[in-house]
Amino acid sequence: MRPKRILPSSGHGGHLRRVRARRRLGRDVRTPGCAASAIQRDLRGAGAGRYVERADDTARILDAYLHRILEDPWSDEEGARSSLLAILGIEIDGEERVDTDLALRRLAFDEANSSAIAGALLSARTNARGAREVVSSEMWECLNVTWHALPQQRRAADRLGPHAYLRFVRERAALFFGLADSTMSQDDGWRFLVLGRSLERVDMTARLLSVRVLDASHAPDWTMLLRASGADESFLRTHGGSGDAARIAEFLLLDRLFPRSALHALATAEQCLVELGPDPGRAGVPDPARRPIGQVRTRLDYAETDRLLSQLPTLLVDLQDACLLSSQAIATRFFQYAPPVAWALER
């Protein structure tokens, strides 16, 4: 519920006119408390963007894994589910049997865990509710309707299978970000939201590829990584049927045009940070949030594609570290009491 607006008495009319005039001239300076409150709302918008992206990515990965198990029933299903849980940072008791029901409970339906789809959407809704002045009414309605529709979608998943539930989440996430682009002014609130989404995309791509690097029998094949990233059709249009490992890794990490590639997401995040805090300095980049993003983005920009696979293990660790360092620096710089949006059970 939005707080009630306190209407000024008629005696404050002159003061309000002077304040409005200063704002039109760009000379209004907010009090520290008001500024901190506005920044906190912007950071909640960033949290909403990151959690919606997390729900979207988790739904894509889970759907791709389930399709793989259906298409290849002779594969190591328990190993595949274990690698899926590892990608998404879910720890399990060693005595638990890792079956499809467990994977769905922990990754799709668990409201208490922000790494699961339901938990991420709940966190996104909570953040958006605290940032009602930042997100548009249509975005809020999108999240609110999505959250209240999840129980019905879960009941349908119990009867008909989980694919409709996962498709519903992907479609609602696309609607949310489409509304953000079409109904929000591209000011700091919008930049924070896009920043959160971009950092989450980088982290998720790194998590996906890190399991492939293990090269275990249950690790996802390269084609499945494309499907889990929503990149299969774009890859085919760009490279045709040549789906070798080096070319797929290059597409997911280095492609400048695909919006879910690590390089594209890093460039977007860096541009948001530049616009959020222009640096007037003449040497170096003192911004601790922008520095790790810029450093790893430069490495990808000038990476040698023929050596990419051999450098992949180190590069993926550096990508995840850069996202974590940047998230911590953003919280410290813009609002010191707001913790960074991190994965559950992340160390």
Kindly report, residue by residue over 52-93, the tens digit of the pLDDT.
999 999 999 888 888 877 776 666 666 677 777 777 777 766
In which element (H, E) is residue 176 found? helix 163-183
Which residues neighbour 225 within 8 Å (Cβ) at sequence distance 6 or greater? 208, 209, 212, 248, 252
35 with 27: CB under 8 angstroms? no
| Cα–Cα dist 176/141, whole Å | 9
Task: Output the CA torsion 79→85→90→92 (10° steps).
Answer: -30
The model's pLDDT over 255-287, given as tens digits with 9 standing for 90+, comes to 999 999 999 999 999 999 999 887 767 777 888
3-state secondary structure of 6: coil
| Cα–Cα dist 319/261, whole Å | 12
In which element (H, E) is residue 217 found? none
Q: In the prediction, which pLDDT does 23 show?
A: 33
Q: In the prediction, which pLDDT does 341 show?
A: 57
Low-confidence ranges of the chain (pLDDT < 70): 1-43, 72-79, 92-96, 214-220, 280, 335-347
Q: In the prediction, which pLDDT does 89 show?
A: 74
Q: In the prediction, which pLDDT does 124 show?
A: 94
